[in-house]
């Protein structure tokens, strides 16, 4: 199975539709959905996608709000199925390996958390 094939396309059509898609010039393989502006206490600031999606030969990557250690996300990750996590990435080998309801709930949590943290950016 090639995560970059039809299964990746189904994920894009299914739970990850959004009013605006923005392919970033520096990362052409990442599709970003909506945008928000962040500013940290250190003064560092920038713009980022609310949710990012990349489909490669070996894995599907969802770029979500960091916070996989939160109680709500730990429960969803336990239900999700086969996956790995990084600081802000959720890595899947196949969509057929995961619970689609848990995946959708994780994406919804991430979007809600970004909107809560950065309300002025209208993410």
How far, in Å, CA of 5 to CA of 105, rounded?
Answer: 23
Cβ-based neighbour number of residue 51 at 10 Å: 22
CB contact at 8 A, 87 and 115:
no
Query: Tens digit of pLDDT for each residue in 71-104?
Result: 878 899 999 999 999 887 999 999 999 999 999 9
Query: Tens digit of pLDDT for each residue in 14-41?
Result: 444 443 445 555 566 788 888 888 888 9
pTM over 0.75: no
Residue that wins the pLDDT comparison between 103 and 65: 103
Task: Pick one of 3.40.50, 2.60.40, 3.90.1150, 3.40.1130 as the CATH number of 6-121.
Answer: 3.90.1150
How would you class 33 by CB atoms within 10 Å of its CB: exposed for 0-12, middle for 13-18, buried for 19 or more? buried
* Per-domain residue ranges of the chain: 6-121
């Amino acid at each position: 199975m090639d995560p970059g094939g039809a299964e990746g396309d189904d994920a894009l059509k299914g739970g990850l539709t959004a009013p605006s898609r923005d392919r970033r010039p520096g990362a052409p393989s990442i599709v970003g959905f909506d945008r928000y502006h962040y500013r940290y206490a250190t003064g560092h600031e920038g713009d980022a996608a609310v949710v990012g999606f990349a489909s490669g030969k070996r894995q599907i990557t969802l770029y979500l709000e960091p916070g996989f250690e939160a109680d709500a996300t730990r429960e969803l990750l336990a239900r999700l199925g086969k996956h790995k996590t990084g600081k802000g990435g959720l890595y899947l080998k196949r969509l057929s390996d995961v619970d689609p309801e848990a995946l959708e709930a994780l994406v919804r949590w991430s979007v809600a958390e970004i909107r809560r943290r950065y309300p002025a950016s209208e993410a």
